[in-house]
Amino acid sequence: MRLLVVNPNTSAAMTATIAAAARSACAAGTEIEALNPAMGPASIEGYYDEAFAVPGLLAEIAAGEARGCEGAVIACFDDTGLDAARALAAIPVVGICESAVHLASLVAGRFAIVTTLARSIPPLETLTRRYGVADRCRVRAADVAVLALEHPTPEARGRLLEQCHRAIDGDGAEAIVLGCAGMTALAASLAAELGVPVIDGVVAGVKLIEALVGLGLRTSKAGGYARPLAKPYLGLMEPFTPRG
């Protein structure tokens, strides 16, 4: 099985961390191809960054599918470009937020997402409503920038740990979901320290996409994820012109 894991930002260091987590979690015989686009923002922190990350992400998913990848994981917790990617590709595509909260809902009655900056709380709250877990989930921010997680300092980890404790002690969270792909390397140590399940979206996404590919399930093209209609795209968007 050959899987594509795309970090939608352009941080090669973060992509390397994501790749290591994905390869440590995948089954024997699964090949992980992890990469990031050559164009786009260095990190995704809010709606504006997210919009400019989508074209590069879609280009990498299209190229990966053409190379023979059988499934794709979008390794940004905003699930950046997920719907567009599902419309573009025939292979199954999952986002790490969707994957993580669904797994969390199987092991805990209540759980918390601990993310990076406060500006990420509104988009993640929107996703919890979309995924049907808003009444079971609180979103907290650790006030840590995404790029600070490329090489997390003790201070950054301490802020993250503090919000995890507040979620458990104050919100009644029974599990913690790490709300950024850049946190993946911290999952095991946090779980040992907190004493509750800690779900990393990268690992969750890899295991779910393995299941979808193994079951032969692909994205339905019967409705909203139908292939884009052929029409001209102009200017800088010309390379993305759909052929129908």
The predicted pLDDT at position 176 comes to: 98
**3-class secondary-structure state, position 116:** coil
**Which residues neighbour 184 within 8 Å (Cβ) at sequence distance 6 or greater?**
17, 18, 21, 178, 200, 201, 202, 203
The predicted pLDDT at position 150 comes to: 86
The predicted pLDDT at position 101 comes to: 98
Which residues of the chain fall below pLDDT 50?
none
What pairs with residue 139 in β-bridges? 113
The predicted pLDDT at position 178 comes to: 98
**pTM for the predicted model, two decimal places:** 0.95
CA distance 174 to 180: 19
The predicted pLDDT at position 152 comes to: 86
Question: 76-91: string of b/e by CB count within 10 Å (b at 16+)?
Answer: bbbbbbbebbbbbbeb
- Picking from 23, 35, 26, the residue whose alpha carbon sits closest to that of residue 64 is 35
Domains of the chain with bracketed CATH: 2-96+204-240 (3.40.50.12500), 97-201 (3.40.50.12500)
The predicted pLDDT at position 243 comes to: 86
What are the Cα distances from residue 230, in Å, to 241, 242, 244? 7, 5, 4
Taken in order 223, 225, 226, 229, the sign of the CA dihedral is positive
